[in-house]
Amino acid sequence: MSARRMIRMDDGQGRVFQMRVAGLAFRDGHLLVHRATHETFWTLPGGRAELGETSEATLVREMQEELGVAAIIGRLLWSVENFFHYDGADCHEYGLYYLMDLPESFPFHTCDIVHRVQDGSSALEFKWVPATREAVAVLDMPPYFLAREIETLPESPRHIVWHDGDLD
């Protein structure tokens, strides 16, 4: 197996760029989210794209690796230029956010973590949360525009430029 070539750059001065692809999976009015267990915030499932890989292929690969299932990728919702500060670095992330369907066999319940996996040096946990503005806002789930838009997904792709601290 050849070495992965993730789309990520570090300028050595505390600035990082990466390309991330994430998916929104819904079931019974709930949204699937995940986090690395050492983090306090949650994110949408997904991961970094590899050179030569389409964004849809990235999301299919990440769901197979992290959830052990074949996701069906739907329409693109957002392309996001996300600027934030993380772990002492100023970060610029280009993100693509898709609707996705998971097989019915993937666990669903709303009382606890539904799946755990080791991803490199990070342990990841997944859970279903109500797909409401209030529930997503409470999670501390960047980029924070997601809470505002979770109940009214765009009909066609939207491009968003988001800076941490933007409240609108």
- What's the rounded mean pLDDT across residues 122-132? 97
Q: Does the reported pTM lie above 0.85?
A: yes
- What's the rounded mean pLDDT across residues 64-74? 97
Burial label for 13, CB within 10 Å (0-12, 13-18, 19+), is exposed
Q: Are residues 6 and 50 in contact, defined by beta-carbon separation less than 8 angstroms?
A: yes
**Two tokens, residue 126:** 């997944």
| Count of C-beta atoms within a 10 Å radius of residue 108 | 14
* Residues 34-58: tens digit of each pLDDT: 999 999 999 999 999 999 999 999 9
Q: What is the sign, positive or negative, of the torsion defined by CA atoms of 14, 19, 23, 24?
A: positive
Measured distance CA(8)–CA(29) in Å, rounded: 34
Burial label for 45, CB within 10 Å (0-12, 13-18, 19+), is buried
Confidence bin at 2 (pLDDT 50/70/90) = low
Element (H, E) at 126: strand 122-130
Angle at 142 between CA 115 and CA 74, to 5 degrees: 65
Measured distance CA(49)–CA(61) in Å, rounded: 10
Angle at 31 between CA 137 and CA 47, to 5 degrees: 90
74 pLDDT exceeds 90? yes
Q: Is 104 helix (H, G, I), strand (E, B) or coil?
A: coil
| Count of C-beta atoms within a 10 Å radius of residue 156 | 7
What value does the mean pLDDT of the chain take?
94
**Two tokens, residue 32:** 């699937």
